[in-house]
Chain A
Amino acid sequence: MAVVAPNATEIRGLIRKAKRWDVIFVSLGIACLGIGLLTFATLFLDMLIDGWSRLNPEFFTQFPSRRAGQAGILSAWVGTTLVMLVTAFFAVPLGIGAGVYLEEYAPKNWVTDIIEINITNLAGVPSIVYGLLALGLFVYTFGLGQSILTAGLTLALLILPVVIVATREAIRGIPGIIREGAYALGATKLQTVKDHIVPYSTPGILTGVIIGMSRAIGETAPIITIGALTFIAFLPPSPISDVPPFVNFEWLKAPFTVMPIQMFNWTSRPEAAFQHNAAAAGFILVLMTLLMNGLAIWLRYRLRKNIKW
């Protein structure tokens, strides 16, 4: 025969060579994952080391100051907490309501299509554009000013798609027999939704809410765009008062600052002392988002393990 068939050793050599590429690629994949992880570890440690000297109790109880060593994040964390309250107040009911509507009620027609396309599109809109929306609409047209209410509303709109998508996914995981069972016992649609659909999808919805809130905590661009001040050395009026009716809503209209803006302000100063403050604030910020995301991932993991329909 003219054609020489490759012998067994040659074939083994070829196979070995091809398999070597497999190994090379796996190493490359692990290396890329490693770079990502290493970057994150470096970022975390870099901020911990840079900010270590400032991470003490006074840092949380002092207002920003012209002297870096005395500056703290009191007004920033109070501001962040209040803004998050407003954000959750609007985003959670609206997001869950929209998710329930789209999964349980929406008829298949062009209105529903438009809503769905809108939500997909909004998820991809850059956050700074939400800031421009808030500046033009909330600040000037509605006259809400550069207040906690404006910031909370803006962030609520920003994270709405996250909450809606999570709600829909959670509801979609509930099998149809649950609904049929409820209807068979004479429940109305509202009763089915209220007593079965929403309770059973709560862990999934909660995951989405936590991820959305962790995103809102770190958002800087839209809050800067509405014109939040970077130097605030006072606290908004307390939500609780000692005279009836014991609550007041003056704080909604108060000027404010939030953690990421405080950090941005310190980062953009040339003095190294302020950059230590920025690192400390950044570390707290990362720790917070890390804990929230971790909680969300853990919740989802438990959810998958425990529920078998």
Chain B
Amino acid sequence: MTGPGPSAMPTVVSARLAKKFSRNLRERAIEAILFFAAFVSVLTTVGIVYVLVSESVHFFQRVSLWDFLTDTQWTPLFDDAHFGIMVLLSGTITSSLVALVVAIPMGTVIAVYLSEFATPRAREISKPILELLSGVPTIVYGYFALLFVTPILQALIPGLPGFSLLAAGLVMGIMIVPYVASISEDAMRAVPMALREGSFAMGATRLQTALRVVFPAAISGIAAAYILGISRAVGETMILAVAAGMQPNLTFNPMESAATITAYIVQVALGDLPHGSIGYQTIFAAGLTLMLLTLAFNLVGFYMRKRFREAY
């Protein structure tokens, strides 16, 4: 290659410089755009906190925090209005407990089975099936709870009302099983093989190894799975709105019908409340309570998962 002559040199260089400049500009612009895309998640969080807090501030100007936490009635739309979040919390807690009674044992057994016993082939088939189960829309589970599970339960337990925390909770438990199973299984599979080999070398059976060596070694990850399962149950909406009834009821008896925090928000949203009314503001106060509750569980779960990852 002979190259450009001396007289042509400056224009070629400046053209290349200009090209390089525009290329750099484009690189920077794209980086900024991509950063903005990532930053949307921060904006979302800020938006959630802003909306919940600003509406709740209006709410707490009318209702004292003390009443909110200690009143035993929830009748925000009556003339004699009471705002005791305890009433809705009791429904949320009771239904979540029913769900966990189903989800934790089943999820744990499935996780131990898949991680310690199942052949690779059985695992390869089971995991996608579990995934499909967790992909079913919750409104469909709600229909199932109300129109299939409730009649069966009513035949077994005379006197069970048409809406009950029990039916909703049981179905919610089944819904959470894949979630608990998959996170627990991940935790158990992260336990190094050497621990199992050591246990086998001492003459332990598979079950002894699974329960006394692998399970304790993965306990923080499994606990994280449970906690994330709880947070799932607390935030679940449609199953409860459909099958547990929408009547606020301060009860810890799963045989009764009761509204949860989430079901109350749905109920209010279905009506036609004017923007800025006290009824409109209650759903944000209820939402803030829900958000704080799940945030606390998620943070504990996140912390525990992080810990088990760093253990080995």
Show the binding face of A for B, using Cβ within 8 Å: 18-19, 21-22, 25-26, 28-30, 32-33, 35-37, 39-40, 42-43, 46-47, 50, 93-98, 100-102, 105-106, 114-115, 118-122, 124-133, 135-137, 140, 157, 160-161, 164, 188-190, 211, 214-215, 217-221, 224-227, 230, 260, 263-264, 267-268, 275, 278-279, 282, 285-286, 289-290, 292-294, 297
Contacts and interface: CB of A to CB of B under 8 A. Distances in A.
B139 A220 contact: yes
Given A36-B178, A189-B27, A22 B206 contact: yes
A221 B262 contact: yes
B207 A98 contact: no
Nearest to A26: B117
A157 B44 contact: yes
Given A101-B31, A214-B135, 15 more contacts: A22-B117, A29-B117, A40-B129, A42-B148, A97-B36, A105-B35, A121-B45, A129-B291, A131-B265, A132-B48, A132-B51, A136-B284, A221-B241, A221-B262, A286-B136
A147 to B, nearest CB: 16
B128 A32 contact: no
Interface string B123-165: 0001011111101111111111011100000000000000000
Interface in B260-282: 262, 265-266, 269-270, 275
Interface stretch (B59-67, B77-85, B232-240): B232-240
Given A115-B42, A218-B140, A267-B147, A133 B47 contact: yes
Interface stretch (B10-18, B108-116, B192-200, B214-222): B108-116
Interface stretch (B93-101, B248-256, B294-302): B294-302
Nearest to A112: B38
Contacts of B130: 36
Given A97-B34, A122-B44, A128-B266, A267 B110 contact: no
Give the interface centre of B30, B34, B298 by most chain A CB atoms within 10 Å: B34
B238 A220 contact: yes
A62 B242 CA distance: 25
A101 B237 CA distance: 34
B35 A160 contact: no
Given A21-B207, A36-B106, A127-B237, A98 B41 contact: yes
B229 to A, nearest CB: 11
Contacts of A95: 37
Contacts of B205: 18-19, 21-22
A230 B178 CA distance: 31
A161 B301 CA distance: 17
Nearest to A120: B302
Nearest to A275: B147
Contact of B41 (A33, A105, A122): A122
Given A46-B144, A119-B41, A293-B132, A218 B110 contact: no
A118 B269 CA distance: 27
